[in-house]
Amino acid sequence: MPSPIGHSLAGLSIGMAYALPKGASFRDLGVSMYRRRGILLASIALANLPDIDYLPGLFAGDFNAYHHHYSHTLGWLVLVSLGIWMIWKSFNSSITFRHFSFIFIATGSHLILDFFTRNTSYPYGIMLFWPFSNEHYLSGNPLFWNPQKSDWGEVFQWYNVQVMIMDAVYTSAMIGMVLLYKRYTSPARPVI
């Protein structure tokens, strides 16, 4: 429900929290971001992954036809995170549960942002607890605006530019908080 800008920046902030060192100068954080760009790009992709449900709607002529169904649920999130983690682990035996947590949180950020977005089209909210419930959930206090996106004509309008600007403002604050945390938190000392 937030724009891809909002989901991408939220995913980037999660990737930065996961991959950047603590106690580094801002310059060194920038260097680390460049060196860890693969994991940062992966976190952006993971944060947008639940919107894969737009593809069938694109072919049906209504972008929202299948949106907010199974790919916006905890059940889907667990299955996809496990699948990605197992594939990653098959290529690298040093992959641990910490890596699964990263995948789960980065992908799950999408559901959190969608939960806190104003929703103006049916079905309202997301089927958060599927497969245990088909009920849709939505926050009563939305933080994000809902872009208009039922077809290509709605996608390219001034209102959606405003939505992207607001999404960038909110989620850039998350990036700023992560950078400040990483800069001013001492690195963990080894346990003796």
CA distance 143 to 156: 22
CA distance 97 to 8: 24
CA distance 171 to 113: 10
Q: Is the dihedral of CA 104, 105, 110, 111 positive or negative?
A: positive
CA distance 35 to 22: 15
For residues 23-37, one letter each, b for 16 or more C-beta atoms within 10 angstroms of the residue's C-beta and e for the rest, the string is ebeeeebeebbeebe
CA distance 128 to 66: 15
91 HSE (CA, 13 A, CB side): 5
What pLDDT was estimated at residue 192?
58
CA distance 9 to 167: 9
Q: Is the dihedral of CA 116, 126, 151, 9 positive or negative?
A: positive
User: What would you measure as the largest C-alpha separation in the chain, in angstroms?
Assistant: 62
State the CB neighbour count (10 A cutoff) for residue 87.
10
The structure's pTM equals 0.86
List 117's β-bridge partners, or say none. Answer: 144
Q: Supply φ then ψ for residue 35, to 5 degrees.
A: -65, -30
Q: Could you tell me where the beta strands, DSSP code E, fall in 58-137? A: none
Domain map (residue ranges) of the chain: 4-184
Cβ-proximal residues to 81 (8 Å cutoff; 6+ apart), any chain: 100, 103, 104, 107, 108
pLDDT in tens, the chain (192 residues): 678 899 999 999 999 999 999 998 999 999 999 999 999 999 999 999 998 887 777 777 767 666 677 888 999 999 999 999 999 999 998 889 999 999 999 999 999 998 988 877 777 788 888 989 989 888 888 788 777 666 666 667 787 788 888 889 989 999 999 999 999 988 766 555
